[in-house]
Structure 1
Protein backbone atom coordinates (compact mmCIF):
# COMPACT_ATOMS: atom_id res chain seq x y z
CA UNK A 1 0.00 0.00 0.00
CA UNK A 2 1.33 3.40 -1.00
CA UNK A 3 0.52 6.38 1.20
CA UNK A 4 0.12 9.66 -0.69
CA UNK A 5 -1.32 13.14 -0.72
CA UNK A 6 -3.51 14.52 -3.50
CA UNK A 7 -4.16 18.21 -3.96
CA UNK A 8 -5.78 20.38 -6.63
CA UNK A 9 -7.48 19.74 -9.95
CA UNK A 10 -6.21 19.57 -13.52
CA UNK A 11 -3.58 17.52 -15.30
CA UNK A 12 -1.72 15.12 -12.98
CA UNK A 13 1.78 15.68 -11.62
CA UNK A 14 3.63 13.16 -9.45
CA UNK A 15 6.45 14.41 -7.21
CA UNK A 16 8.80 11.68 -5.99
CA UNK A 17 10.97 12.25 -2.92
CA UNK A 18 14.55 11.10 -2.46
CA UNK A 19 16.40 8.70 -0.17
CA UNK A 20 15.14 8.66 3.45
CA UNK A 21 12.71 11.47 2.56
CA UNK A 22 8.91 11.50 2.62
CA UNK A 23 5.99 13.04 0.76
CA UNK A 24 5.89 15.90 3.29
CA UNK A 25 9.00 17.46 1.74
CA UNK A 26 6.82 18.56 -1.20
CA UNK A 27 4.08 20.30 0.82
CA UNK A 28 4.97 23.83 -0.37
CA UNK A 29 5.35 22.71 -3.98
CA UNK A 30 2.12 20.73 -3.85
CA UNK A 31 0.18 23.69 -2.49
CA UNK A 32 1.61 26.05 -5.11
CA UNK A 33 1.20 23.75 -8.12
CA UNK A 34 -2.25 22.55 -7.06
CA UNK A 35 -3.71 25.88 -8.18
CA UNK A 36 -3.27 24.61 -11.76
CA UNK A 37 -2.72 20.83 -11.53
CA UNK A 38 -3.62 17.72 -9.56
CA UNK A 39 -0.50 17.02 -7.52
CA UNK A 40 0.22 13.55 -6.14
CA UNK A 41 3.03 13.08 -3.61
CA UNK A 42 3.51 9.41 -2.69
CA UNK A 43 5.71 7.87 -0.03
CA UNK A 44 7.74 5.34 -1.97
CA UNK A 45 7.53 1.83 -0.46
CA UNK A 46 9.66 1.64 2.68
CA UNK A 47 9.60 5.39 3.36
CA UNK A 48 7.24 7.55 5.38
CA UNK A 49 3.88 5.83 5.82
CA UNK A 50 4.35 3.28 3.01
CA UNK A 51 5.44 -0.15 4.27
CA UNK A 52 8.44 -1.94 2.82
CA UNK A 53 7.25 -4.88 0.67
CA UNK A 54 8.70 -8.31 1.32
CA UNK A 55 9.78 -8.82 -2.32
CA UNK A 56 13.34 -8.14 -3.42
CA UNK A 57 13.79 -4.40 -3.94
CA UNK A 58 15.42 -2.71 -6.90
CA UNK A 59 14.54 0.38 -8.91
CA UNK A 60 12.63 -1.69 -11.44
CA UNK A 61 10.36 -3.25 -8.80
CA UNK A 62 9.72 0.19 -7.27
CA UNK A 63 8.68 1.41 -10.73
CA UNK A 64 6.28 -1.53 -11.05
CA UNK A 65 4.75 -0.79 -7.64
CA UNK A 66 4.29 2.87 -8.60
CA UNK A 67 2.74 2.00 -11.97
CA UNK A 68 0.26 -0.29 -10.20
CA UNK A 69 -0.55 2.51 -7.76
CA UNK A 70 -1.09 4.88 -10.71
CA UNK A 71 -3.57 2.41 -12.20
CA UNK A 72 -5.39 2.07 -8.88
CA UNK A 73 -5.70 5.86 -8.60
CA UNK A 74 -6.63 6.31 -12.29
CA UNK A 75 -3.62 8.57 -12.87
CA UNK A 76 -3.20 8.83 -16.63
CA UNK A 77 -0.40 10.54 -18.58
CA UNK A 78 1.20 12.31 -15.61
CA UNK A 79 4.30 14.44 -15.48
CA UNK A 80 6.71 12.77 -13.04
CA UNK A 81 9.46 14.77 -11.34
CA UNK A 82 11.85 12.99 -8.97
CA UNK A 83 14.37 14.26 -6.48
CA UNK A 84 17.65 12.28 -6.34
CA UNK A 85 16.56 8.64 -5.76
CA UNK A 86 13.13 9.76 -6.97
CA UNK A 87 14.77 10.72 -10.26
CA UNK A 88 16.29 7.26 -10.62
CA UNK A 89 12.83 5.78 -10.07
CA UNK A 90 11.34 8.25 -12.57
CA UNK A 91 13.71 6.92 -15.21
CA UNK A 92 12.88 3.30 -14.34
CA UNK A 93 9.20 4.25 -14.65
CA UNK A 94 9.86 5.86 -18.04
CA UNK A 95 11.58 2.66 -19.16
CA UNK A 96 8.57 0.63 -17.97
CA UNK A 97 5.66 2.67 -19.32
CA UNK A 98 7.39 5.01 -21.79
CA UNK A 99 5.42 7.66 -23.60
CA UNK A 100 2.41 7.28 -21.30
CA UNK A 101 4.34 9.75 -19.14
CA UNK A 102 3.59 13.24 -20.43
CA UNK A 103 6.99 14.50 -19.25
CA UNK A 104 9.77 13.64 -16.80
CA UNK A 105 12.04 15.69 -14.58
CA UNK A 106 15.28 15.04 -12.72
CA UNK A 107 15.67 17.31 -9.68
CA UNK A 108 19.25 16.91 -8.40
CA UNK A 109 19.42 13.50 -10.06
CA UNK A 110 21.11 11.79 -13.00
CA UNK A 111 20.58 9.17 -15.70
CA UNK A 112 24.17 7.99 -15.24
CA UNK A 113 25.05 4.99 -13.05
CA UNK A 114 27.18 5.21 -9.93
CA UNK A 115 30.89 5.61 -10.53
CA UNK A 116 33.19 3.04 -8.95
CA UNK A 117 34.07 5.61 -6.29
CA UNK A 118 30.40 6.28 -5.54
CA UNK A 119 29.72 2.55 -5.28
CA UNK A 120 32.40 2.34 -2.58
CA UNK A 121 30.64 5.16 -0.70
CA UNK A 122 27.35 3.24 -0.94
CA UNK A 123 29.03 0.16 0.50
CA UNK A 124 30.39 2.21 3.40
CA UNK A 125 26.87 3.57 3.97
CA UNK A 126 25.48 0.03 4.13
CA UNK A 127 28.19 -0.96 6.65
CA UNK A 128 27.40 2.13 8.76
CA UNK A 129 23.64 1.48 8.66
CA UNK A 130 24.12 -2.13 9.74
CA UNK A 131 26.31 -1.04 12.66
CA UNK A 132 24.66 2.19 13.82
CA UNK A 133 21.15 2.33 12.32
CA UNK A 134 19.22 5.04 10.48
CA UNK A 135 18.96 7.64 13.25
CA UNK A 136 22.69 8.19 13.64
CA UNK A 137 23.17 8.13 9.86
CA UNK A 138 20.57 10.86 9.24
CA UNK A 139 22.07 13.23 11.81
CA UNK A 140 25.13 13.67 9.59
CA UNK A 141 23.65 12.79 6.19
CA UNK A 142 20.84 15.35 5.94
CA UNK A 143 22.87 18.51 6.75
CA UNK A 144 25.46 17.47 4.15
CA UNK A 145 22.79 17.66 1.43
CA UNK A 146 22.57 21.44 1.86
CA UNK A 147 25.29 23.81 0.70
CA UNK A 148 27.31 25.14 3.61
CA UNK A 149 25.98 28.66 3.11
CA UNK A 150 22.36 27.50 3.57
CA UNK A 151 22.70 25.14 6.52
CA UNK A 152 22.17 27.72 9.25
CA UNK A 153 19.19 29.40 7.56
CA UNK A 154 17.61 26.01 6.84
CA UNK A 155 18.36 24.47 10.24
CA UNK A 156 14.65 24.12 11.04
CA UNK A 157 13.97 22.35 7.74
CA UNK A 158 17.00 20.11 8.30
CA UNK A 159 15.62 18.99 11.66
CA UNK A 160 12.19 18.31 10.10
CA UNK A 161 13.80 16.20 7.39
CA UNK A 162 15.85 14.27 9.94
CA UNK A 163 12.75 13.50 12.00
CA UNK A 164 10.74 12.46 8.92
CA UNK A 165 13.60 10.30 7.71
CA UNK A 166 13.68 8.44 11.00
CA UNK A 167 10.45 6.71 9.95
CA UNK A 168 12.70 4.71 7.61
CA UNK A 169 13.81 1.30 8.85
CA UNK A 170 17.45 0.22 8.59
CA UNK A 171 16.24 -2.61 6.33
CA UNK A 172 14.67 -0.15 3.88
CA UNK A 173 17.65 2.22 3.94
CA UNK A 174 20.06 -0.64 3.24
CA UNK A 175 17.88 -2.07 0.45
CA UNK A 176 17.57 1.30 -1.32
CA UNK A 177 21.28 2.06 -0.92
CA UNK A 178 22.07 -1.22 -2.68
CA UNK A 179 19.45 -0.46 -5.36
CA UNK A 180 21.04 2.92 -6.07
CA UNK A 181 24.52 1.38 -6.15
CA UNK A 182 23.45 -1.28 -8.64
CA UNK A 183 21.20 0.83 -10.87
CA UNK A 184 21.48 0.72 -14.65
CA UNK A 185 22.92 3.35 -16.94
CA UNK A 186 19.82 5.08 -18.34
CA UNK A 187 21.53 7.82 -20.31
CA UNK A 188 20.37 6.33 -23.61
CA UNK A 189 16.80 6.35 -22.31
CA UNK A 190 17.22 10.01 -21.34
CA UNK A 191 18.48 10.85 -24.82
CA UNK A 192 15.69 9.03 -26.62
CA UNK A 193 12.66 9.69 -24.39
CA UNK A 194 10.37 11.55 -26.76
CA UNK A 195 8.31 13.72 -24.39
CA UNK A 196 9.57 16.88 -22.62
CA UNK A 197 12.41 16.54 -20.11
CA UNK A 198 13.49 18.79 -17.25
CA UNK A 199 16.72 18.85 -15.29
CA UNK A 200 17.41 21.07 -12.27
CA UNK A 201 20.98 20.92 -10.97
CA UNK A 202 22.75 22.46 -7.99
CA UNK A 203 26.01 24.33 -8.51
CA UNK A 204 27.35 23.01 -5.19
CA UNK A 205 25.65 19.61 -5.19
CA UNK A 206 27.99 17.08 -3.58
CA UNK A 207 25.71 14.12 -4.36
CA UNK A 208 25.25 14.81 -8.09
CA UNK A 209 28.29 16.75 -9.36
CA UNK A 210 27.57 19.60 -11.74
CA UNK A 211 29.82 18.19 -14.46
CA UNK A 212 27.64 15.04 -14.42
CA UNK A 213 24.45 17.10 -14.75
CA UNK A 214 25.87 19.04 -17.68
CA UNK A 215 26.27 15.83 -19.69
CA UNK A 216 22.44 15.73 -19.91
CA UNK A 217 22.02 19.31 -21.11
CA UNK A 218 21.98 18.73 -24.89
CA UNK A 219 19.18 16.18 -24.52
CA UNK A 220 17.02 18.21 -22.13
CA UNK A 221 14.16 20.58 -22.99
CA UNK A 222 14.68 22.76 -19.92
CA UNK A 223 18.03 22.55 -18.12
CA UNK A 224 18.59 24.88 -15.16
CA UNK A 225 21.44 25.33 -12.69
CA UNK A 226 20.76 26.77 -9.23
CA UNK A 227 23.69 28.96 -8.18
CA UNK A 228 25.03 28.48 -4.66
CA UNK A 229 22.72 25.50 -4.10
CA UNK A 230 23.55 21.99 -2.93
CA UNK A 231 21.30 18.95 -3.28
CA UNK A 232 18.10 20.47 -1.86
CA UNK A 233 16.96 23.17 -4.27
CA UNK A 234 13.31 22.81 -3.22
CA UNK A 235 14.38 24.43 0.06
CA UNK A 236 17.59 26.29 -0.79
CA UNK A 237 16.06 28.02 -3.83
CA UNK A 238 12.33 27.38 -3.44
CA UNK A 239 10.91 30.20 -5.56
CA UNK A 240 13.44 29.76 -8.37
CA UNK A 241 12.85 26.00 -8.48
CA UNK A 242 9.08 26.46 -8.60
CA UNK A 243 9.42 29.00 -11.41
CA UNK A 244 11.48 26.57 -13.48
CA UNK A 245 9.05 23.71 -12.85
CA UNK A 246 6.10 25.88 -13.89
CA UNK A 247 8.01 26.88 -17.02
CA UNK A 248 8.50 23.18 -17.78
CA UNK A 249 4.86 22.36 -17.14
CA UNK A 250 3.89 24.95 -19.75
CA UNK A 251 5.65 22.71 -22.32
CA UNK A 252 3.76 19.51 -21.54
Structure 2
Protein backbone atom coordinates (compact mmCIF):
# COMPACT_ATOMS: atom_id res chain seq x y z
CA UNK A 1 0.00 0.00 0.00
CA UNK A 2 0.95 3.64 -0.21
CA UNK A 3 0.44 6.67 1.98
CA UNK A 4 -1.23 9.49 0.03
CA UNK A 5 -0.14 13.05 0.76
CA UNK A 6 -2.56 15.81 -0.26
CA UNK A 7 -3.58 19.38 0.41
CA UNK A 8 -7.06 20.82 0.39
CA UNK A 9 -8.71 24.22 0.41
CA UNK A 10 -12.31 25.34 0.74
CA UNK A 11 -15.55 23.65 1.77
CA UNK A 12 -18.58 22.13 0.12
CA UNK A 13 -18.77 19.80 -2.88
CA UNK A 14 -15.49 17.81 -3.02
CA UNK A 15 -13.46 18.39 -6.18
CA UNK A 16 -10.40 16.15 -6.60
CA UNK A 17 -7.74 17.33 -9.06
CA UNK A 18 -5.31 14.57 -10.08
CA UNK A 19 -1.96 15.56 -11.58
CA UNK A 20 -0.27 13.96 -14.58
CA UNK A 21 3.03 12.19 -15.17
CA UNK A 22 6.11 14.07 -13.89
CA UNK A 23 3.76 16.35 -11.93
CA UNK A 24 2.75 16.73 -8.28
CA UNK A 25 -0.41 17.87 -6.54
CA UNK A 26 1.11 21.33 -5.98
CA UNK A 27 0.71 22.03 -9.70
CA UNK A 28 -2.96 22.77 -8.92
CA UNK A 29 -2.18 25.50 -6.35
CA UNK A 30 -3.68 28.37 -8.38
CA UNK A 31 -6.70 26.25 -9.31
CA UNK A 32 -7.33 25.32 -5.67
CA UNK A 33 -7.17 28.97 -4.60
CA UNK A 34 -9.49 30.12 -7.38
CA UNK A 35 -12.03 27.30 -6.98
CA UNK A 36 -12.02 26.99 -3.18
CA UNK A 37 -14.63 29.75 -2.87
CA UNK A 38 -17.13 27.29 -4.37
CA UNK A 39 -15.72 23.81 -3.67
CA UNK A 40 -13.66 21.68 -1.31
CA UNK A 41 -10.67 21.32 -3.64
CA UNK A 42 -8.42 18.34 -2.86
CA UNK A 43 -5.10 17.73 -4.61
CA UNK A 44 -3.29 14.45 -3.91
CA UNK A 45 0.21 13.31 -4.88
CA UNK A 46 -0.05 9.95 -6.66
CA UNK A 47 1.95 7.03 -5.16
CA UNK A 48 5.70 7.49 -5.48
CA UNK A 49 5.33 11.16 -6.37
CA UNK A 50 5.91 14.27 -4.26
CA UNK A 51 5.32 13.35 -0.64
CA UNK A 52 3.27 10.19 -1.29
CA UNK A 53 5.10 6.96 -0.60
CA UNK A 54 5.22 3.85 -2.77
CA UNK A 55 5.74 0.64 -0.86
CA UNK A 56 5.70 -1.75 -3.81
CA UNK A 57 7.82 -2.30 -6.91
CA UNK A 58 5.02 -2.08 -9.46
CA UNK A 59 1.62 -0.42 -9.87
CA UNK A 60 -1.39 -0.83 -12.11
CA UNK A 61 -4.12 1.71 -12.77
CA UNK A 62 -6.48 -0.61 -10.90
CA UNK A 63 -4.19 -0.64 -7.85
CA UNK A 64 -3.88 3.15 -7.90
CA UNK A 65 -7.68 3.39 -7.96
CA UNK A 66 -7.99 1.06 -4.95
CA UNK A 67 -5.40 3.13 -3.04
CA UNK A 68 -7.27 6.36 -3.82
CA UNK A 69 -10.66 4.88 -2.93
CA UNK A 70 -9.29 3.94 0.51
CA UNK A 71 -7.78 7.42 0.85
CA UNK A 72 -11.16 8.98 0.07
CA UNK A 73 -12.86 6.86 2.69
CA UNK A 74 -10.24 7.80 5.30
CA UNK A 75 -10.74 11.50 4.60
CA UNK A 76 -14.55 11.54 4.30
CA UNK A 77 -14.46 12.52 0.64
CA UNK A 78 -17.96 11.59 -0.53
CA UNK A 79 -19.43 11.90 -4.03
CA UNK A 80 -16.47 13.84 -5.41
CA UNK A 81 -16.08 15.38 -8.82
CA UNK A 82 -12.77 13.95 -10.10
CA UNK A 83 -10.76 15.65 -12.83
CA UNK A 84 -7.40 14.30 -14.03
CA UNK A 85 -4.67 15.69 -16.24
CA UNK A 86 -3.12 13.19 -18.68
CA UNK A 87 -2.03 10.25 -16.43
CA UNK A 88 -4.50 11.69 -13.91
CA UNK A 89 -7.23 11.11 -16.48
CA UNK A 90 -6.25 7.45 -16.79
CA UNK A 91 -6.51 7.22 -12.99
CA UNK A 92 -9.87 9.01 -13.08
CA UNK A 93 -11.25 6.41 -15.50
CA UNK A 94 -9.93 3.57 -13.34
CA UNK A 95 -11.72 5.20 -10.39
CA UNK A 96 -14.91 5.50 -12.46
CA UNK A 97 -14.73 1.79 -13.26
CA UNK A 98 -14.12 0.91 -9.60
CA UNK A 99 -16.46 3.36 -7.88
CA UNK A 100 -19.20 4.06 -10.44
CA UNK A 101 -21.98 6.14 -8.92
CA UNK A 102 -19.81 6.96 -5.88
CA UNK A 103 -18.31 9.63 -8.16
CA UNK A 104 -20.54 12.60 -8.95
CA UNK A 105 -18.80 13.63 -12.19
CA UNK A 106 -15.50 13.12 -14.00
CA UNK A 107 -13.25 15.11 -16.28
CA UNK A 108 -10.35 14.30 -18.62
CA UNK A 109 -7.87 17.17 -19.04
CA UNK A 110 -5.58 16.44 -22.03
CA UNK A 111 -6.18 12.71 -21.58
CA UNK A 112 -7.83 9.77 -23.33
CA UNK A 113 -9.87 6.66 -22.65
CA UNK A 114 -7.89 4.72 -25.26
CA UNK A 115 -4.94 2.46 -24.36
CA UNK A 116 -1.41 3.05 -25.61
CA UNK A 117 -0.67 2.17 -29.21
CA UNK A 118 2.15 -0.28 -29.84
CA UNK A 119 4.38 2.64 -30.78
CA UNK A 120 3.55 4.42 -27.51
CA UNK A 121 4.20 1.23 -25.51
CA UNK A 122 7.66 1.02 -27.04
CA UNK A 123 8.25 4.66 -26.12
CA UNK A 124 7.29 3.87 -22.52
CA UNK A 125 9.84 1.04 -22.52
CA UNK A 126 12.52 3.48 -23.70
CA UNK A 127 11.47 5.87 -20.92
CA UNK A 128 12.04 3.15 -18.31
CA UNK A 129 15.49 2.38 -19.74
CA UNK A 130 16.41 6.09 -19.76
CA UNK A 131 15.21 6.55 -16.15
CA UNK A 132 17.16 3.53 -14.95
CA UNK A 133 20.29 4.75 -16.70
CA UNK A 134 20.17 8.53 -16.11
CA UNK A 135 17.83 9.14 -13.15
CA UNK A 136 14.99 11.57 -12.49
CA UNK A 137 16.68 14.96 -12.91
CA UNK A 138 18.08 14.36 -16.39
CA UNK A 139 14.84 12.75 -17.54
CA UNK A 140 12.45 15.49 -16.39
CA UNK A 141 14.68 18.24 -17.79
CA UNK A 142 14.24 16.74 -21.26
CA UNK A 143 10.64 15.47 -20.82
CA UNK A 144 8.85 18.58 -19.55
CA UNK A 145 9.61 21.34 -22.12
CA UNK A 146 8.11 19.49 -25.15
CA UNK A 147 4.78 19.29 -23.29
CA UNK A 148 4.45 23.00 -24.13
CA UNK A 149 4.04 24.29 -27.74
CA UNK A 150 7.35 25.27 -29.27
CA UNK A 151 6.10 28.72 -30.26
CA UNK A 152 5.30 29.59 -26.61
CA UNK A 153 8.27 28.08 -24.74
CA UNK A 154 10.18 31.37 -24.49
CA UNK A 155 7.10 33.18 -23.18
CA UNK A 156 6.33 30.40 -20.69
CA UNK A 157 9.93 29.78 -19.60
CA UNK A 158 9.23 30.60 -15.93
CA UNK A 159 6.30 28.19 -15.84
CA UNK A 160 8.36 25.50 -17.58
CA UNK A 161 11.20 25.86 -15.06
CA UNK A 162 8.68 25.56 -12.18
CA UNK A 163 7.21 22.43 -13.78
CA UNK A 164 10.71 20.92 -14.06
CA UNK A 165 11.46 21.70 -10.39
CA UNK A 166 8.17 20.10 -9.31
CA UNK A 167 8.87 17.07 -11.51
CA UNK A 168 12.14 16.54 -9.63
CA UNK A 169 10.00 15.73 -6.56
CA UNK A 170 8.99 12.45 -8.20
CA UNK A 171 10.91 9.38 -7.03
CA UNK A 172 12.74 7.18 -9.53
CA UNK A 173 10.74 4.17 -8.32
CA UNK A 174 7.50 6.13 -8.72
CA UNK A 175 8.22 7.33 -12.25
CA UNK A 176 9.21 3.85 -13.41
CA UNK A 177 6.12 2.25 -11.82
CA UNK A 178 3.80 4.91 -13.29
CA UNK A 179 5.38 4.60 -16.74
CA UNK A 180 4.69 0.85 -16.73
CA UNK A 181 1.16 1.43 -15.40
CA UNK A 182 0.43 3.79 -18.31
CA UNK A 183 1.94 1.34 -20.80
CA UNK A 184 -0.14 -1.57 -19.52
CA UNK A 185 -3.46 0.21 -18.95
CA UNK A 186 -6.51 -1.16 -20.71
CA UNK A 187 -9.02 0.47 -23.03
CA UNK A 188 -11.59 2.36 -20.92
CA UNK A 189 -13.62 3.94 -23.72
CA UNK A 190 -16.60 1.81 -22.67
CA UNK A 191 -16.12 2.88 -19.03
CA UNK A 192 -16.31 6.52 -20.10
CA UNK A 193 -19.30 5.81 -22.34
CA UNK A 194 -21.23 4.05 -19.58
CA UNK A 195 -20.40 6.46 -16.72
CA UNK A 196 -23.75 7.91 -15.66
CA UNK A 197 -22.65 11.27 -14.26
CA UNK A 198 -21.60 14.44 -16.14
CA UNK A 199 -18.37 14.07 -18.15
CA UNK A 200 -15.98 16.82 -19.21
CA UNK A 201 -13.18 16.61 -21.78
CA UNK A 202 -10.63 19.35 -22.42
CA UNK A 203 -8.37 18.91 -25.46
CA UNK A 204 -5.45 20.95 -26.79
CA UNK A 205 -5.23 21.91 -30.47
CA UNK A 206 -1.43 21.51 -30.42
CA UNK A 207 -1.22 18.65 -27.90
CA UNK A 208 1.64 16.36 -28.91
CA UNK A 209 0.97 13.79 -26.16
CA UNK A 210 -2.77 13.33 -26.81
CA UNK A 211 -3.38 14.21 -30.48
CA UNK A 212 -6.48 16.25 -31.22
CA UNK A 213 -7.85 13.65 -33.65
CA UNK A 214 -7.86 11.08 -30.78
CA UNK A 215 -9.61 13.54 -28.46
CA UNK A 216 -12.32 14.21 -31.07
CA UNK A 217 -13.33 10.53 -30.94
CA UNK A 218 -14.61 11.13 -27.38
CA UNK A 219 -16.76 14.09 -28.39
CA UNK A 220 -20.06 12.20 -28.67
CA UNK A 221 -19.78 10.34 -25.36
CA UNK A 222 -19.03 13.25 -22.99
CA UNK A 223 -21.39 15.92 -21.68
CA UNK A 224 -19.01 18.79 -22.37
CA UNK A 225 -16.18 18.75 -24.93
CA UNK A 226 -13.85 21.75 -25.20
CA UNK A 227 -10.90 22.35 -27.52
CA UNK A 228 -8.31 24.94 -26.50
CA UNK A 229 -6.82 26.73 -29.49
CA UNK A 230 -3.04 27.23 -29.76
CA UNK A 231 -2.59 25.00 -26.69
CA UNK A 232 -0.35 22.00 -26.11
CA UNK A 233 -0.52 19.41 -23.33
CA UNK A 234 -0.43 21.88 -20.42
CA UNK A 235 -3.64 23.87 -20.77
CA UNK A 236 -3.82 24.46 -17.02
CA UNK A 237 -0.62 26.52 -17.40
CA UNK A 238 -0.92 27.78 -20.98
CA UNK A 239 -4.56 28.90 -20.59
CA UNK A 240 -4.82 29.10 -16.81
CA UNK A 241 -7.61 31.67 -16.41
CA UNK A 242 -9.72 30.12 -19.16
CA UNK A 243 -9.38 26.55 -17.87
CA UNK A 244 -10.12 27.58 -14.27
CA UNK A 245 -13.41 29.06 -15.49
CA UNK A 246 -14.15 25.96 -17.59
CA UNK A 247 -13.78 23.80 -14.47
CA UNK A 248 -15.81 26.22 -12.34
CA UNK A 249 -18.65 26.27 -14.88
CA UNK A 250 -18.67 22.47 -15.30
CA UNK A 251 -18.56 21.78 -11.56
CA UNK A 252 -21.25 24.35 -10.74
CA UNK A 253 -23.54 22.79 -13.34
CA UNK A 254 -22.97 19.41 -11.67
Same fold (TM over 0.5): yes
Match of 1:250, SS?
A: helix
RMSD: 0.9
Structure 1 regions of 5+ residues with no counterpart?
none
Q: Is the 8 A contact 2:61 2:182 kept in 1?
A: yes
5 Å-filtered alignment, 1:16-165, equals 16-54=18-56, 56-165=58-167
Match of 2:227, SS?
A: strand
Q: Is the 8 A contact 1:4 1:42 kept in 2?
A: yes
**Distance (whole Å) between structure 2 residues aligned to residue 86 and residue 37 of structure 1:** 19
Q: Is the 8 A contact 2:57 2:177 kept in 1?
A: no
- 2:168 paired with 1:203: no
Q: Is the 8 A contact 1:146 1:231 kept in 2?
A: yes
Equivalent position of 2:221 in the other structure: 219
List per-residue Cα deviations over 1:157-210 (Å, max 9, x = no partner). Answer: 111111111121222111111110010000001111110000000000000000
Equivalent position of 1:183 in the other structure: 185
Q: Is the 8 A contact 2:231 2:238 kept in 1?
A: yes
List per-residue Cα deviations over 1:82-130 (Å, max 9, x = no partner). Answer: 0000000000001011011000000000000001111111111111111
**Distance (whole Å) between structure 2 residues aligned to residue 62 and residue 109 of structure 1:** 17
Equivalent position of 1:194 in the other structure: 196
List per-residue Cα deviations over 1:46-89 (Å, max 9, x = no partner). Answer: 10011112263111111111000000000000000000000000
Match of 2:144, SS?
A: helix
Match of 1:18, SS?
A: coil
Equivalent position of 1:13 in the other structure: 15
Q: Is the 8 A contact 1:196 1:251 kept in 2?
A: no
- Which stretch has the larger CA shift, 40-49 or 156-165? 156-165
Structure 2 regions of 5+ residues with no counterpart?
none
Query: Which portions of structure 1, spanning 4 or more consecutive aligned residues, are displaced by more than 4 angstroms?
Result: none
**Distance (whole Å) between structure 2 residues aligned to residue 9 and residue 114 of structure 1:** 37
Q: Is the 8 A contact 2:199 2:223 kept in 1?
A: yes
Equivalent position of 2:174 in the other structure: 172
